[in-house]
């Protein structure tokens, strides 16, 4: 349990007119300026028209969910870290977003047909998993989701490529856009747009 001594219990970041509260256990992109570029690419790839049901997997503090909410019908954010979900709920409130719901729990246990019945099947899925990529159960659920588009954000192109290979029976890679979040290192953030194959 973290001990709070003095000062603020969280930091505040501003990104493209959105304000985000970030606690000590919450994930947030370390390069704030490039994070805006990254999320603008996610927004472009998502191709939202205002009617879509969006799922934001591994939502962290809800930054992508909040960034996309105004262009969607509703957003469901899922995150393992309970403290991050608490921050995501606060961030939605701070930014006057009322069409986003955030759920805490293990992705492979939360993302299932029960959730689809409760929140509706996704039109667009955003996934931004940790370096290890997605659990095979999560990939299987994505294959059965019926989502028209998946926007896959990753800081590890190797596990991203592995997961995309597993998604390839149902989805085609349409666009790939790397973003240099870590200048003067070999690390890169990569965004891939996948679209559902037609019969």
Establish how many alpha carbons lie within 13 A of residue 170's alpha carbon, considering only the half-sphere containing its beta carbon.
15
CA 121 to chain centre: 16
Q: Which residues are marked as active site? A: 155
Burial 165-174 (b: 16+ CB within 10 A, else e): ebbeebbeee
* Surface-to-core class of residue 14, CB atoms within 10 Å of its CB (0-12 exposed, 13-18 middle, 19+ buried): exposed
């Amino acid at each position: 349990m973290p001990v709070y001594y003095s000062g603020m219990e969280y930091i505040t970041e501003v990104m493209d007119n959105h304000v985000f509260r970030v606690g000590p256990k919450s994930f947030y992109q370390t390069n704030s300026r490039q994070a805006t570029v990254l999320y603008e690419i996610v927004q472009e790839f998502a191709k939202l028209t205002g009617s879509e049901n969006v799922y934001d997997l591994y939502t962290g503090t809800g930054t992508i969910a909040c960034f996309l909410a105004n262009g969607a019908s509703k957003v469901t954010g899922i995150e393992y870290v309970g403290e991050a979900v608490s921050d995501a709920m606060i961030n939605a409130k701070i930014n006057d977003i009322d069409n986003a719901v955030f759920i805490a729990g293990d992705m492979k246990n939360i993302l299932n047909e029960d959730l689809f019945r409760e929140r509706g099947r996704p039109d667009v899925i955003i996934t931004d998993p940790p370096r290890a990529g997605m659990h095979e159960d999560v990939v299987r659920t994505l294959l059965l989701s019926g989502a028209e588009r998946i926007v896959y954000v990753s800081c590890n192109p190797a596990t991203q490529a592995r997961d995309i290979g597993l998604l390839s029976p149902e989805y085609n890679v349409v666009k790939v856009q790397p973003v240099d979040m870590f200048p003067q290192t070999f690390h890169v953030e990569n965004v891939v747009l996948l679209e559902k194959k037609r019969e």
